[in-house]
Structure 1
Amino acid sequence: MDSFGAALRRLRKAAGLSQPQLAKLVPISQSSLSRYETGRQAADQATIDRLEELLDGNGALSALAHRPAQPDDPERLQHVVTHPRSVDPEALASLARLLAESRRLEDRFGPWLMVGPAVGYVRLLERLTSEARGPLRSEVVDLAAQWAQFTGWLHAATDQGSRAAHWFDRTLEWSAESNNPTLTANALSYKGHLAWMTGRTGPMIGLSHAARRNPDTHVSQRAFDAMQEARGHAMAGDLAAADRTLGLATDLAAQVPDAGNPPAWSYFYAPAFWTLQQGLVHRYFPTRHESAAELLRSGIAALPHDQQSAEWLGDYRRALEFVQPT
């Protein structure tokens, strides 16, 4: 059976459209369309509906988009489980596509459904890293880091902080070996998020600042890290530092559409998400609750359909309840 990306590419070619032509009709960026076709990003339901309309998909794209995550070739992966040194590029590609689908399903169904399978897959990648040799090792380790990052997030989202910290530490180890500065920054940022969850403002600020420090990190990650750091300053009562850092974050976020090659896990780093981040910073300014409410309301309303029920949105809804006048 086709994957969503393969079916989209096939339908686009059958319609005689190039990626730029189809992207303009939707309208979305060509880079987003490319990521949909390669399985590196999941499309929201409104975009899927529009693609169905333009390509006469007759529901095929929607059905594939909502298919439960599963490996492309179970027999190949089963062989890899029992013979870790037999891992090849095709098996890694299957595991990468499975990770992309798992992220999308977590948005749709929440973290509790996904945490068990994610642990199983990251344990598999852990075994592969212990056996991988030669030129493929860097790819194995990098994919293991991405699975560890996702598994850490799932544990954080289900209030299992110590397990989340463990997997973020593994992310740091593997991303350092694979020389992936953006994933290293993301792991530091998530550790800052854990500090936020437990009210440790100092580590939240320090880790967020460390995450955005490397200029080789993708600008989308640096933008988020600066916004998280600004939130920490606001929580600490240093409103001047919060404003200064938020201004930097806004400048970085403005560069994201032209940056190219965004990391696979940043598919939700879009204008609505940046609006939510700003609202979360303003929530900690005693005199800015009105602007915080407006930013949070507009950010939530502008999210894609498939993210409207995402469990991670709960933090923003609770912030909105806090700042709304009673």
Structure 2
Amino acid sequence: MRDNFADLARRALRDSGYSMKAAARAMNYDVAYLSRVFNGKQKPSAKLASSLDSLVGADGALAATVLDDDDSERVKRSAANPSRLDAGTVDALAGVLAAYRRLDDTAQPRSVIPATTAQMNEVLRLLKGARGPQRDRLAEVASEYVQFGGWLLAQDRQDTEAVRLLNEAVELADEIGNGTLAAQALNFRGYLARQQARPDGVARWYAAAAFTPGAHPAQRLGDMLQAAAGMAELGAHDDALRMVENAERLTDKAAAIPPPETAYWLTPEFNRLNMGLANLGLGRYADAADHITAGLAGLPAELRDAPWTWEHRDALKRAQAAR
């Protein structure tokens, strides 16, 4: 499998305004050593990976993309012989994906897309030859990789390829009967429709996600609220209000069950952002501003400036201007 640390590190430095020489000075490393690492000719030490992570403010995510020697060898063996896939390989690949997802909270999407796409393709290739009891677990990881790739592309407005990947993610999730993953991929279709200013698509895809069998209560709650926002924008206010009421009935249940690991951000605080979007669509501007303000304040510190929060900040400005 590919080690994409070099690509991610180069892009993270660029986004943070560091040249290689400036980074070497800041971390007190030899520039020739950094050059070998950034050109993929030498694996970074754990210390260097951690230093780079701190330099670019990646909150541990960049360093977490580097497999230790045991996991690296395990993944290579599975890649060479997919029919003998083992649990350790699936765990290692899931761990790298978790690190990529955390990078999305600090980095520009376009900086994470190349590495994610390369790793996604390797996982899909492994899945084609995988056999045995770990195959379904690998299919879950593959669906997550594909939907995460679609999410990044949707943020970067590479719409056609985003739709293709998100549709493929739903198919992979359906293949193993994982409603949580299917609902999340449909949710990302709704997000893309919102970026395209297509309220019909917003209503359609978020409603589809909300009523996907197997969806987590926190997913259903958030999806209903976002579907309501689309309905309200279409002028279907009665339908939007009913959808909000249905979502509110799920509040206690959603709060009582931890969100799924594949949608770790779906906390009650996060869903206040979605309640804000629903109220904005319904013209309840003061309520919208209150919910979005509280939702942003309730995010963990490392998420408050994530690129995906920008649309919520824009919604807050609109609500404040209209109330």
Q: TM-score range by the shorter chain?
A: 0.7 to 0.9
* Shift in alpha-carbon separation, 1:129–1:309, aligned structure 2, 3 A: same
Offset, 1:121: 1.3
Query: Residue by residue, what CA displacement relative to the aligned partner does 1:105-136 show, whole Å, maximum 9, x if unpaired?
Result: 21122322221111111101110121112322
1:204 equivalent among 198, 202, 205? 202
In structure 2, C-alpha distance between the alignment counterparts of 1:65 and 1:192, rounded to whole Å: 27
In structure 1, C-alpha distance between the alignment counterparts of 2:103 and 2:252, rounded to whole Å: 28
Offset, 1:74: 2.1
In structure 1, C-alpha distance between the alignment counterparts of 2:238 and 2:143, rounded to whole Å: 36
Corresponding letter in the other structure for 1:105? L
Corresponding letter in the other structure for 2:310? G
Aligned to 2:134: 136
In structure 1, C-alpha distance between the alignment counterparts of 2:248 and 2:316, rounded to whole Å: 21
Corresponding letter in the other structure for 2:73? E
8 A contact 1:100–1:264 mirrored in 2? no
SS at match of 1:296: helix
Aligned to 1:267: 264
Q: Given the alignment of the two structures, is residue 297 of structure 1 paired with residue 293 of structure 2, yes or no? A: yes
Taking the TM superposition and a 5 Å limit, the aligned residue runs for 1:105-124 are 105-124=103-122
Q: Given the alignment of the two structures, is residue 276 of structure 1 paired with residue 273 of structure 2, yes or no? A: yes
Offset, 1:64: 5.4
Corresponding letter in the other structure for 1:280? L
Aligned to 1:81: 79
SS at match of 2:125: helix
* Shift in alpha-carbon separation, 1:140–1:68, aligned structure 2, 3 A: closer
* Shift in alpha-carbon separation, 1:282–1:64, aligned structure 2, 3 A: closer
8 A contact 2:270–2:295 mirrored in 1? yes
Corresponding letter in the other structure for 1:70? V
* Shift in alpha-carbon separation, 1:65–1:205, aligned structure 2, 3 A: closer
SS at match of 2:214: coil
Offset, 1:235: 1.0
SS at match of 2:193: helix
8 A contact 2:170–2:185 mirrored in 1? yes
Offset, 1:290: 2.2
SS at match of 2:321: coil
Corresponding letter in the other structure for 2:308? W
Offset, 1:215: 4.6
Offset, 1:65: 6.4
Taking the TM superposition and a 5 Å limit, the aligned residue runs for 1:242-261 are 242-260=240-258
Query: What TM-score does the superposition give when structure 1 sets the normalisation length?
Result: 0.75
1:148 equivalent among 146, 149, 160? 146
In structure 2, C-alpha distance between the alignment counterparts of 1:143 and 1:97, rounded to whole Å: 10
8 A contact 1:71–1:95 mirrored in 2? no
SS at match of 1:277: helix
Aligned to 2:50: none
Offset, 1:63: 7.8
Give the RMSD, CA atoms, in angstroms. Answer: 2.1
In structure 2, C-alpha distance between the alignment counterparts of 1:289 and 1:272, rounded to whole Å: 19
In structure 2, C-alpha distance between the alignment counterparts of 1:325 and 1:206, rounded to whole Å: 28
Corresponding letter in the other structure for 1:69? T
Aligned to 1:322: 318
8 A contact 2:228–2:278 mirrored in 1? yes
1:308 equivalent among 296, 304, 307? 304
In structure 1, C-alpha distance between the alignment counterparts of 2:202 and 2:293, rounded to whole Å: 25
Runs of 4+ in 1 over 6 A off after TM superposition: none
Offset, 1:294: 2.0
SS at match of 1:134: coil
Q: Given the alignment of the two structures, is residue 126 of structure 1 paired with residue 124 of structure 2, yes or no? A: yes
Corresponding letter in the other structure for 2:243? T
- Name stretches of at least 5 consecutive residues in structure 2 with no aligned partner: 1-57
* Shift in alpha-carbon separation, 1:172–1:66, aligned structure 2, 3 A: closer
8 A contact 2:218–2:266 mirrored in 1? yes
* Shift in alpha-carbon separation, 1:65–1:200, aligned structure 2, 3 A: closer
Aligned to 2:168: 170
8 A contact 1:233–1:241 mirrored in 2? yes
Query: What TM-score does the superposition give when structure 2 sets the normalisation length?
Result: 0.75
Query: Residue by residue, what CA displacement relative to the aligned partner does 1:125-182 show, whole Å, maximum 9, x if unpaired?
Result: 1101211123222112111001111111111111111111111111111111111011
Taking the TM superposition and a 5 Å limit, the aligned residue runs for 1:223-234 are 223-234=221-232
8 A contact 1:192–1:203 mirrored in 2? yes
* Shift in alpha-carbon separation, 1:176–1:63, aligned structure 2, 3 A: closer
In structure 2, C-alpha distance between the alignment counterparts of 1:105 and 1:221, rounded to whole Å: 22
- Name stretches of at least 5 consecutive residues in structure 1 with no aligned partner: 1-61
In structure 1, C-alpha distance between the alignment counterparts of 2:89 and 2:135, rounded to whole Å: 13
SS at match of 1:108: coil
